[in-house]
Structure 1
């Protein structure tokens, strides 16, 4: 098979793994010719760094042959799809070719399980080893960690990769046993725990070396790195009946126990020859978006999953989770921006974390006024019912939650641009 044909198959097969890509990627589907990968190029995906930069990665599978028969996966053992397999040298050649053309900044490499988990992990490591040691590649490398592989192989993978990810796929043991009976939740957690321990140890060693050695020290004398970009995972949304509260509780557990950098959410996409037991239609993509919003509130704003959903069920699709929480807790509002704790100001709809810090800095100098919120470009139409400033207080009518919800969810008239 020609290399370009392999790339067509294995880039398309990789598009369902969202654990390195943004949630704003085009629609994922295997029905019809809808393009390759999850973006505009052949196997090119877009990921975002913590400082907001968008980077392009070559996103492919080493192979879409697989010993496992996970029912939600288009590459499962029983699936009737075209199959292909790269050699490690072919992936290296493709990566360097794209990189030299300034098309990508790095590589995202996953794989189906072939022969055994150890053999598959060895093949993934071989790609990274060739790039790093033979070709002195200093671009970004994200490797898929095979949870069932020997921990020594995970140890080696972390020495070459910037980030590792072991996909949990389904947030409950029941769901995993039903749709992916060959996978074990304890095995996945064990791999995550091992990677967390190695990442923590490497970070501790790096901090110790930074204090002990001068800046001009030989880098070879410093402790070896291990997956400096941390680890991530993916959960599929809508493949089973698991509700959003359970999904968010699982994510909360993963962040706390394994210190994951990110949990990615991937809306289940209908696949050819759908096995019995899978839903006939994909869930609304807005549900995936709401989960990302709620996840951000958990990671950055101090919310708990139980606060965002205090009973089993799914997130409100009409309004974002922060606004939904505020409407359900009207007794906590309005918040006096001149007196409230920063953590409470961060819970005001329409005020982001950067604005919170700027407001706290500003009120050390003088009283906060409504015009300060305008200058900070906060979402005024959203926050007005929830704040008090030196010169502003919401009316009694704005405190009515049902009326407020209606006003905030109705379509806004289009405005003509004045520039």
Structure 2
């Protein structure tokens, strides 16, 4: 009798594992379209013998020091009450549906962490029946991990537009980062592809989180033991290419939310044509990956290099140049600003030189205090001379700036890049 009971239990456990594995395959695949999963800025520390530490860059990516880190990135469910044209989980799409229980997500996270598969959790969801019903379950996952398992790894919750302030406040007590997807860059685009959704339902929680984060930061400054509240801030994601917005419109939207909602990041996700709909681009067209890259480069210029949107793109040039990066594009359109003397120019002007990054610019300003810099020293600092040499002068005549047009400089740089690419390809072939 005991043997039969054990046999039944073993079979039930095996069946349960198969069921969980099937759910994981479905809901992890559905989550791949959400790209906003970075943990930069979180400082949660492991205390009292708990599990894990939140570290920078939790996602399937590489950190600044070269470490590859990962997270469990899943949906709580792909059931959804909405019928957004661009979403693979929309209610009219004939796909296999699944849903995790709260405890299943908690168990998966802990088990994957203990096996060293992940360093954190990114949890999003379709909407079961309403915003609060779904958001309450997302919060319960984070709360269980923190309070019952003392889990100190990174947690990113994708909040549900329309959820109550109380749930948003509770989410911030347990998650490192919260995010609300804007989805379309403009309200017009959202009305076209997701007419059931309201832009204000997305903006309201972003405004609430901004105020809560400011308030809790002030409390933390006054009271050391004040609880953390979304220490990695909030972010959002916009889909590009599903609607005809230009890069100018996309960047103006991003700039607006950076300035008015204190966002940590805006993520740009190229539309993936997986559904047929008359409102969407044809299935055989897709957004070039390079457009995403250019938008991220432009985003960095706005946040760290002092560029304004209208300097990067404008009404005459509403699209980013896909052949070259946005800073080089600006430099070629503004040759009258150059050349600058690298040994006397101020930091803000040096930051605008193509081929000079943020750290290199700071090293230049520090290094020239001890003597004038030459080309060899600039190269050691990390300056990309194949671009910078057309825009600067220094304490050496080796590269004398030629009187070239912007078109000619662009062709020189592109030809050099292509030659370098071909040379590297030949080298790799010779290795075999």
TM-score, normalised to structure 2, is 0.86
Residue matched to 1:171? 185
Output the CA distance in 2 between the equivalents of 1:158 and 1:50: 27
**Residues 181-219 of structure 1: per-residue CA shift (max 9 Å, x gap):** 122222211111110111111111112224xxxxxxxxx
* 1:14 is aligned to 2:58: no
Instruction: Please list, as runs of the form range in 1=range in 2, the aligned pairs for 1:148-167 lying within 5 A after superposition.
Output: 148-167=162-181
* 1:412 is aligned to 2:426: no
Change (3 A) 1:142 1:52: farther
Residue matched to 1:288? 292
Aligned counterpart in structure 1 of residue 218 of structure 2, from 204, 215, 221: 204
**Residues 146-166 of structure 1: per-residue CA shift (max 9 Å, x gap):** 121001110000000000010
Instruction: Please list, as runs of the form range in 1=range in 2, the aligned pairs for 1:255-270 lying within 5 A after superposition.
Output: 255-270=258-273
State the SS of the aligned residue for 1:293. helix
Output the CA distance in 1 between the equivalents of 2:333 and 2:377: 27
The answer to whether the 8 A contact 2:184-2:190 is kept is: yes
Aligned residues: 386
The answer to whether the 8 A contact 2:136-2:167 is kept is: yes
Aligned counterpart in structure 2 of residue 388 of structure 1, from 390, 393, 418: 393
Instruction: Please list, as runs of the form range in 1=range in 2, the aligned pairs for 1:7-406 lying within 5 A after superposition.
Output: 7-20=24-37, 45-47=59-61, 53-210=67-224, 222-272=225-275, 274-280=276-282, 281-311=285-315, 313-392=318-397, 395=400, 397-406=402-411
State the SS of the aligned residue for 2:60. strand
Output the CA distance in 2 between the equivalents of 1:406 and 1:86: 54
Residue matched to 1:3? 20
The answer to whether the 8 A contact 1:164-1:231 is kept is: yes
Output the CA distance in 2 between the equivalents of 1:51 and 1:253: 31
State the SS of the aligned residue for 2:181. coil
The answer to whether the 8 A contact 1:21-1:48 is kept is: no
Output the CA distance in 1 between the equivalents of 2:379 and 2:391: 15
Output the CA distance in 1 between the equivalents of 2:63 and 2:263: 15
TM-superposed deviation, 1:59: 0.2
Query: What residue ranges of structure 1 are gaps of 5+ in the alignment?
Result: 23-43, 211-221
Output the CA distance in 2 between the equivalents of 1:143 and 1:51: 26
Output the CA distance in 2 between the equivalents of 1:398 and 1:285: 34
Moved more, 323-332 or 301-310: 301-310
Output the CA distance in 2 between the equivalents of 1:248 and 1:60: 28
State the SS of the aligned residue for 1:178. helix
The answer to whether the 8 A contact 1:386-1:394 is kept is: no
Residue matched to 1:32? none
**Residues 72-122 of structure 1: per-residue CA shift (max 9 Å, x gap):** 100011111110000000001110110000110010000001111000000
The answer to whether the 8 A contact 2:156-2:175 is kept is: yes
State the SS of the aligned residue for 1:108. strand
